[in-house]
Amino acid sequence: MYSFDYARPASVSEALEILRSDVEPRLLAGGQTLLPAMKHRLTAHSTLIDLQGIDTLRGIEVTEAGLRIGAMVRHAEIASSETVQRMLPALAVLADGIADPLVRNMGTLGGSVANNDPAADYPAAVLGCGAVVNTDRRDIAADDFFEGMFTTALEEDEILTAITFPLPETAGYFKLPHPASGYVLAGAFVCRFAEGLRVAINGAAPCVYRDTLAEMALAAHFHPDSANDLVFDDEDFTDDLHASRAYRARVLPAVIRRAVARALNPERTSP
């Protein structure tokens, strides 16, 4: 690990001041991706700005716009929150299935979404729900936020402060996880609203995306069997040592079918 300075601001404004004045700073949330990368000298920064001391980045509340969750809320808090379990149970199920207990007790919603790992869980929920990413200066629609692998609409001097999830009539999430890391090989977050359906796919491609074919099929008949006839072109899918693009295309209809089944049975948490 290369040497660096450490700052622990008490407010967003203080964090922004450091972020805009330092040479090569980096925001630190849960550190579950950043710190291992720094230990292996894959990245280096002049100052780590630890956001854990900023209370305004925490909290879970229901607002007129939906379920607002602070950027520094940890996965384990979301999984165990009675509010999340009641208002958006699919999100609680998703959080409870992330990696392992250590990661769930350290990793944060905001850190995961800002990092936009293609194999992370939360981006599927954010895009599937059509959530709004709140920052220190603006609100960004989910459809405009995820731009590519590890790339988002966030500016270098911008801080993600919270995410607001509109509340669907029902939602379901299912993923095929890597057996060791828990990262997503192929996953689907399905949301049904009064005005329509949204299906977000994660793990299969370099960036989370909405699948219009699945949305049209489920809009015609919201039932697990509607996914059976879906056929995916694997040209833009990920091909790596964990799974081939052909495998991901082959299993995705079954993944979507399981997600729909969970949406129709939101109390159910097993495949």
Return the pLDDT at 181.
Answer: 78
Distances (CA, A) of 18 to 50, 89, 152, 168: 11, 37, 21, 38
Which pair of structure tokens corresponds to residue 67? 């379920």
Topology of the domain comprising 170-264: Enolase-like; domain 1 (3.30.390)
CA–CA separation, 205 and 238 (whole Å): 5
Q: How do the domains of the chain map onto residue ranges?
A: 1-53, 170-264
Give, to the nearest 10 degrees, the angle between helix 89-96 and helix 122-129. Answer: 170
Q: Which amino acid is at 269?
A: T
Return the pLDDT at 270.
Answer: 43
CA–CA separation, 1 and 4 (whole Å): 9
215 burial type by CB count under 10 A (0-12 exposed, 13-18 middle, 19+ buried): middle
As beta bridge partners, residue 141 has 132
Contact in structure between 218 and 260 (CB atoms under 8 Å): yes
CA–CA separation, 172 and 97 (whole Å): 13
Please name the helix (run of DSSP H) or strand (run of DSSP E) that holds residue 20, with its range, or none. helix 12-21
Q: How many CB atoms lie within 10 A of CB 168?
A: 22
Contact in structure between 23 and 65 (CB atoms under 8 Å): no
| Cβ neighbours for 13, distance < 8 A, ≥ 6 positions apart | none
Contact in structure between 217 and 204 (CB atoms under 8 Å): no
The highest-level CATH class for domain 1-53 is alpha beta
Nearest to 171 by CA among 66, 68, 260, 86: 260
| The pTM of the whole model exceeds 0.75 | yes
Assign 271 to helix, strand or coil: coil
Return the pLDDT at 267.
Answer: 64
Query: Number of helices and strands (H, E) in the chain?
Result: 11, 14
Walking along the chain (271 residues) 10 residues at a time, the average pLDDT comes out as 95 97 96 94 96 98 98 98 98 96 96 97 98 98 98 97 98 94 93 97 98 97 97 95 96 98 76 38
Strand arrangement, sheet containing 139-141: 60-63, 66-70, 160-165, 132-135, 139-141
